[in-house]
Chain A
Amino acid sequence: MVEPNQLTQHLETFVDITRSPTQQDDSLKAIASSLENDSLSINQLVREMEMYLTTTDNVVRARGILLLAEILDCLKAKPLNDTIVHTLVGFFTEKLADWRAVRGALVGCLALMKRKDVAGVVTDIDAQAMAKSMIQNVQVQALALHERKLGFELLECLLQQHSEAIVTMGNLLVYATCEAIDGEKDPQCLMIVFHLIELLAQLFPSPSGPLASDASDLFEVIGCYFPLHFTHTKDDEANIRREDLSRGLLLAISSTPFFEPYAIPLLLEKLSSSLPVAKVDSLKCLKDCAMKYGVDRMKKHYGGLWSALKDTFYSSTGTHLSFAPESLTSPGFEMNEIHREAVSLLQRLVKQDISFLGFVVDDIGINMVFDTISRYSQYKEMPDTSKLEVLVISQILSVSAKSSVQSCNIIFQAIFFRLMNTLGIVEKTSTGDVVQNGNSTVSTRLYHGGLHLCIELLAASKDLILGFEESSPTPGYAQESWFSMVKSFSVPLIQVFTSAVLSSNDDSVTDVYFGVKGLLTMGMFWGGSSPISRSEFEKILMTLTSIITAKSGKTVVWELALKALVCIGSFIDRYNESDKAMSYMSIVVDNLVSLACSSHCGLPYQMILEATSEVCSTGPTYVEKMVQGLEEAFCSSLSEFYVNGNFKSIDNCSQLLGCLTNKLLPSVAEIDGLEKLLVHFAISMWNQIETSGVFSCDFNGREFVEAAMTTMRQVVGIASVDSQNSIIQKAYSVVSSSTLPAMESIPLTFVALEGLQRDLSSRDELILSLFASVIIAASPAASIPDAKSLVHLLLVSLLKGYIPAAQALGSMINKLGSGSGGTNTSRDCSLEEACAVIFQADFASGKKISSNGSTKIMFGSETTLSKICLGYCGSLDLQTRTITGLAWIGKGLLMRGYERVNEIALVLVECLKSTNCSGHALHPSAMKHAADAFSTLMSDSEVCLNRKFHAVIRPLYKQRFFSTIVPILESLIMNSQTPLSRTMLHVALAHVISNVPVTVILDNTKKLQPLILEGLSVLSLDSVEKETLFSLLLVLSGTLTDTKGKQSASDNAHIIIECLIKLTSYPHLMVVRETAIQCLVALLELPHRRIYPFRREVLQAIAKSLDDPKRRVREEAIRCRQAWLVT
């Protein structure tokens, strides 16, 4: 139990308004918690508080009551017996009349109302008394914001929880609510107010009830908020948005049908305003109202509604109709929000009451539109008003038709014949009968307006079936009259559209667009019993396919037809139409695939491939067909090439492979079984090459080899390990049957290597490249047969200068299991053995011999590769090839984190020295290759050794290499004697620095910044290194903007500025100048005293940049100059 005087203290604290809010809060919490754990009872508390609750001091009484109320608010879940609750309710109800303490009373009432069910709640009788007192005593609008909100919340609670009890208050309640909310302006309160109206509407649904009689007053109060204007944005803590308020208002307005006589005229009036927001809100609200008020009440407004809607359609539609392939499946013009809302309102009205359609059909505009249509045959000839008329009427009719089966019937009955007549499909005979025009192709008039209207109607009926089918499975629409009309006209309609497609007049694009769109619409009727028979459907497909295969070249027509075919294909796939799928397969897919195989048509092969792949990607079965077709095409083209020497067919081959890689491979995850098909394709590529024998003529299809390699890599990359194994087996057998194994017998000695040339036959080169691709992409788990001799083979090939062989060798040693490792797959060669072949064991004897405290690195002179690299023997050519090859091998080792990469790195470094262990400097070109080898080592490659091709990547391998190699390069730079060697060392260092993650640089800025700066000035002397220079400059700019880098930048400010100033006039690369100027701006972040001495110098340099030939540099210069001027 709380000590009485302690309690008194708490009470005093709360009541005393001079105390801080936190103190008051604390005492409130203390009391509430002692009540919560029963150390104090409510009775005791009230007794103790008596003085505070009844005193005549207004302030103290108000605070006292508020305290009691707040305490109750904290105890909502604490069980209290009914007498206590009753007494408290009585107390607070009474206090509602005490205007000075009204806040406490409201909080108390609200706290009691919100009590949990189990803990004792307010009874209905009490609630009624509370409501009465509230109505009689509280003038809500006279209160402050917070109290108003409380008042509305209390009303909301009463209406929600005790509706039966207070319903008897009737008129009084409605009147009081009306008074309470009149003129409310706070958004939070308004949200509650709108809800109150809804609750009242639910409470008094009777037409003779109090709400019905007071509806006009009540609507006057809330109607004035419409359309809602609210511009406050975020900073409001309640975070109320305009949409919430507007939604609340809409719900309130549509809450009861009694508002109808007042609401609809208001909404119609606001709809005609020029404010877009008002229009959108009105349309939304009208839709809600139409639903809630019911048909009977809405009926009398139909006239007004229709004309307002029509005006809205006219004002919200643009006249620009797009004829691009993308708009085949959309209305073809832009829809804004007003337009969309108007569409949905029209649809709702028609769906709800078919008699509304009478206004639509009888409208004078509908009759006029036929005149307009037959007056202009070309869309572009029409004046804007006529365009608008056609578009709007078409839209209105199609939206209405889409609403229900009945409306569709009515609209088709009303206008379809007239439309057919206008289009020349139906003609009146002298007897007045309507007959179908037999040879409609002759006399058809292609009125664009009519075609548009016709397509819109057909699309509407098509959508109707789709909507219908999704809701109920039984196809009951076959008896409907629109259905029979479409059915009876389907043949001539298809003829009309076909003739439009084939038209060749001066505005043929529009003709064709409408033709294709029409055919597309006709082709997308759903279901077995669609109004379009199967033979007609096939006719549509044939027409479209014939456009694709016609020798017309890539025109708009071609693109439209292709898009339409793709649409139909995906439609069939989406709705599982097996019959149509068969037709589609036999007419479209088979045709295109066979075209791709024959390659003897007049169409460019690229287009055939594009069409085939687009069409086939619509369904998995088509993909299968296509891959098989392409496989066949590939084999026949290749054999065509080596038998007849047809160069065109080898071009086709590379295009075909390109299509396979670009179009099919990305979707391999989505289509089941595609992987298997592709693996099969890869194997048959090998088969084909195996049987190809000797190429009959000289082969210089670089493009083809590239394409074949890419495809092979990608296919192997995505294949499962088993499939990879089978491809590897196949490839290996092809390799061993070729003349390649002969190379394995070349011993790795100087004498043998000296005479190596790039001398493979073109067939062998192809086989080698493809085989290398397979190895590059194979996963570590795949088994490679006879790996040791393969290593040898690849090694010799790389010495001959075949880069793919070097990459393959790198990939191979990257993935080989190590001899003792647990994941050793059953292969005959471990990593150590492979390395032994490469380094020839002796390599390991390269030792560090320390003498006189300085480190001298000596290399095993017996090592063939390193000797070649260092130029002991062999031509310069051989030397550079070896260096490049070594780089790739090193990359493979580096990524898996194998320590022998250091040996390779040391050889490369040795190459860069001005005097290496061979006693003389290397040829400049060899040095350049050695420097660039560091780029190979450090940068990420697209072609091999990445995640896509299952490379083994040790985390942080770049960082490790960075920390070993940079000190070596640094000391060499210090000691280098010749400028050439110095430059090359800097190039190597730049490659390393610019490829390592920037955080590593930032950790070592102090040490690196001088090196980078020196590198920049060395590299800027030669235009060959401009890209390297730029990437190094980017690293520098990274260090300048970082906080860690700034300290050392401040130390080196003078060198940095000097270097950057030089680079602002770097002539070879614009981005270098731009970045240098940006860096100068970044330097302004440094302490003022450090940079001020350079102000004059920088400004002079920048003044020159103001006259730079490139605009971007000049702009940067202006910014920089301005920034430096104000320092």
Chain B
Amino acid sequence: MVTGLINENPIIYPKKERRLRTDTSTTDEDIKDPEHPNTLEDLRVVTEDSVEVDDENSYVRVTFTPTVEHCSMATVIGLCVRVKLLRSLPSRYKIDIRVAPGSHATEDALNKQLNDKERVAAALENPNLVEMVDECLPSEE
């Protein structure tokens, strides 16, 4: 497969200063973009504001914005975010991952796919996919 990158020249934003956190929100800023060596935060795919945490009700909602509308990596990004959260959060949390409204061509399908337990589980059975996800999640931060 000799196709070029989907988004060849992404804009890289400066990292925001970390504010001191007291809530339970855990780090997902260090997930790498599947296509570029930058982190999702560098590319503003996920920002601090786009993560909602409700500690009392054990609920997390992440809204991410793919760099381009037809980004085929959106599923992989979503999967990475989910895996990272699965591994970082206590099991009591319900995790909801969405694409920002209007930022992707097949928004509904994507949301459905990302929040479908069966499909996520199936995806994580796929060794190729798991390898890709693990590559995106650097073990040392």
Contacts and interface: CB of A to CB of B under 8 A. Distances in A.
> Do A and B come from the same complex?
yes
A1118 B27 contact: yes
Interface in A1073-1104: 1103-1104
A1126 B87 CA distance: 11
B21 interface: yes
Contacts of B134: 1126
Interface stretch (A790-798, A980-988, A1106-1114): A1106-1114
B88 A1118 contact: yes
Interface stretch (B4-12, B34-42, B89-97, B108-116): B89-97
Contacts of A1121: 87-88
B89 A1106 contact: yes
B132 to A, nearest CB: 14
Given A1103-B90, A1106-B90, A1122 B137 contact: yes
A1069 interface: no
Contacts of B87: 1118, 1121-1122, 1125
B92 to A, nearest CB: 7
Contacts of A1111: 21-22
Contacts of A1125: 87
A17 interface: no
Of A1104, A1111, A1122, A1123, most B-chain CB atoms within 10 Å: A1122
A1107 B90 contact: yes
Contacts of B24: 1114
A1126 B140 CA distance: 12
A1118 B139 CA distance: 10
A140 B38 CA distance: 45
Contacts of A1118: 26-27, 87-88
Nearest to A1099: B87
Interface in A159-212: none
B2 to A, nearest CB: 31
A173 to B, nearest CB: 52
A1119 interface: yes
B141 interface: yes
Interface in B58-93: 87-92
Contacts of B141: 1119
Contacts of A1119: 139, 141
Nearest to B91: A1103
Given A1111-B21, A1114-B24, A1126 B88 contact: no
A888 to B, nearest CB: 45
Contacts of A1103: 90-91
B91 A1126 contact: no
Nearest to B83: A1125
B54 to A, nearest CB: 15
B97 to A, nearest CB: 18
B48 to A, nearest CB: 16
A1104 B90 CA distance: 7
Interface string A742-757: 0000000000000000
Nearest to A1119: B141
A1123 B139 contact: yes
B15 to A, nearest CB: 18
A850 B132 CA distance: 70
Contact of A1114 (B26, B92, B139): B26
Contacts of B139: 1119, 1122-1123, 1126
Contacts, number: 28
Given A1118-B87, A1126-B134, A1107 B21 contact: no
A1117 to B, nearest CB: 8
Interface string A251-267: 00000000000000000
A1111 B88 CA distance: 12
Nearest to A1103: B91
A1126 B134 CA distance: 8
Contacts of B91: 1103
B21 A1106 contact: no
Nearest to B21: A1111
A1119 B92 CA distance: 19
A1119 B22 CA distance: 19
A452 B110 CA distance: 65
A1107 B89 CA distance: 7
A714 B89 CA distance: 54
Nearest to A1104: B90
A1122 B27 CA distance: 13
Contacts of B26: 1114, 1118
A900 B139 CA distance: 55
Contacts of B21: 1111
A1077 to B, nearest CB: 14
Nearest to A1122: B139
A1121 B84 CA distance: 11
A1111 B87 CA distance: 16
A379 B22 CA distance: 40
Interface in A889-912: none
Nearest to A1118: B88
A299 B25 CA distance: 66
B13 to A, nearest CB: 23
Contacts of A1104: 90
Interface in A370-420: none
Contacts of A1126: 134, 139
Nearest to B58: A1107
A1125 B134 CA distance: 10
A1103 B90 CA distance: 6
A1118 B92 CA distance: 15
Contacts of B90: 1103-1104, 1106-1107
Contacts of A1122: 87-88, 137, 139
Nearest to B26: A1118
Of A1106, A1114, A1123, most B-chain CB atoms within 10 Å: A1106
A1106 B85 CA distance: 11
A578 B22 CA distance: 60
A607 B91 CA distance: 57
A1053 to B, nearest CB: 21
Contacts of A1114: 24, 26
Contact of A1106 (B22, B27, B88, B137): B88
Contacts of A1106: 88-90
A1111 B22 CA distance: 8
A839 to B, nearest CB: 58
Nearest to B20: A1111
B57 to A, nearest CB: 14
A764 to B, nearest CB: 54
Nearest to B140: A1119
A1121 B88 CA distance: 8
B88 to A, nearest CB: 4
A525 B64 CA distance: 67
B27 to A, nearest CB: 7
Contacts of B137: 1122
Of B21, B87, B92, most A-chain CB atoms within 10 Å: B87
A1070 B138 CA distance: 27
Interface string A554-593: 0000000000000000000000000000000000000000
A1122 B137 CA distance: 9
A1125 B91 CA distance: 15
B86 to A, nearest CB: 10
Nearest to B90: A1107
A1126 B137 CA distance: 11
Interface string B120-141: 0000000000000010010101
A1106 B58 CA distance: 13
11 contacts: A1103-B90, A1103-B91, A1106-B88, A1106-B89, A1111-B21, A1114-B26, A1118-B26, A1118-B27, A1121-B87, A1122-B87, A1126-B139
The 7 A-B residue pairs whose C-beta atoms are closest, nearest first, are A1107-B90, A1106-B90, A1118-B88, A1122-B139, A1121-B87, A1122-B87, A1103-B91
Interface of A: 1103-1104, 1106-1107, 1111, 1114, 1118-1119, 1121-1123, 1125-1126
Given A1104-B90, A1126-B134, 7 more contacts: A1103-B90, A1103-B91, A1111-B21, A1119-B141, A1122-B87, A1122-B139, A1126-B139
